Chain A
């Protein structure tokens, strides 16, 4: 079978379109399942039965971190609109701090408390020297739209 140049060009375009089309269908079917974590607002919008394992992501709510004497850490994860209380026992990553974006793996317990088995820090897309960060904090422009950036 010998195809002419035009036919081969059409065939290549067809392959590209079919590839894009099938990928779009697969991704549309998977939908939110592709996302690594859900936000506190997602939990409010679509409540899950307690005991199911999931990843919860958001910012560590400033002022919410309490370190218990038995090595247990309690804090809240917020996305600006809603927040979820979290209990965790284990090693926290270096970047963990108040206001930091994090992703936790764990289970929602009865009473709405999230028991985390793993805490990962989510780095944001801002790169700058320390002096610039300090200057931004002084001038009050620090983290304009940070929640949006940490989404």
Chain B
């Protein structure tokens, strides 16, 4: 496993993944948007307003998934002192924060006409907001120490503690009364969403995942380059 700990080997893997992920986004993004905005039928209750879920649901899934990436990277960095794991976690954090913000924002825009309110302090919305703050806290802790290594360690511990929030987000709609509806797709008894809407949604989810991989690779390359500059004694501008 430590064979991948050198920037050179790691960089080669990144180079191998990147073109495929980028090609996937370029091909599937127009297809997914076309399926979501044109092919998918309007919902029987919400009409065309339901189409916001093709952005909202993939964002929310990515918000959780990216946190898992960040927390796994942090754990590997803490236990095995794996430098590439640390960089992957740090590269993922702002992306996760952005996906969380997008999920909160699109949910709010949908909530106003459908629920009658922009925001309500129910368990799902509140736990999602906490996830957003966890991302921001992770990023802030990284910068809060003069010694970057101490900052990285403190942030990694915060990321680990925050993992407990993931099952709370997922099951909040089952454990408590919430305004947010229960799961439509990952639920016992199969999806409660018609296939004509499920397929566009899954395509959009794939587009979001590939997009994340693309930007993650770019951000890792950036952090690796910054590290090299720092080791050469060049100040970060």
Contacts and interface: CB of A to CB of B under 8 A. Distances in A.
Contact of B46 (A11, A123, A131): A123
Interface in B80-131: 80, 113-117, 120-123
Interface of B: 41-46, 50, 53, 75, 78-80, 113-117, 120-123, 157, 160-165, 168, 175-179, 181-184, 187, 192-194, 196-197
A134 B183 CA distance: 23
B183 A125 contact: yes
Contact of A121 (B42, B53, B116): B116
Q: Which of A16, A95, A124, A125 has the most CB of B within 10 A?
A: A125
Interface residues of A, number: 44
A34 B123 contact: yes
B181 A123 contact: yes
Contacts of B165: 23
A91 B116 CA distance: 9
Contacts of A103: 179
Contact of A39 (B123, B175, B177, B196): B177
A133 interface: yes
Interface of A: 5, 8-9, 11-12, 15-16, 19-20, 23, 27, 32, 34-39, 57, 91-95, 103, 118-134, 149, 151
Residue among B123, B163, B178 with most chain A CB within 10 A: B178
Nearest to B127: A34
A101 B194 CA distance: 20
B42 A129 contact: yes
B192 A127 contact: yes
Given A15-B160, A23-B164, A103-B179, A121 B192 contact: no
Contacts of B197: 127-129
Given A35-B176, A103-B179, A130 B115 contact: no
Nearest to A33: B176
A127 B120 CA distance: 22
A127 B50 contact: yes
Nearest to A20: B164
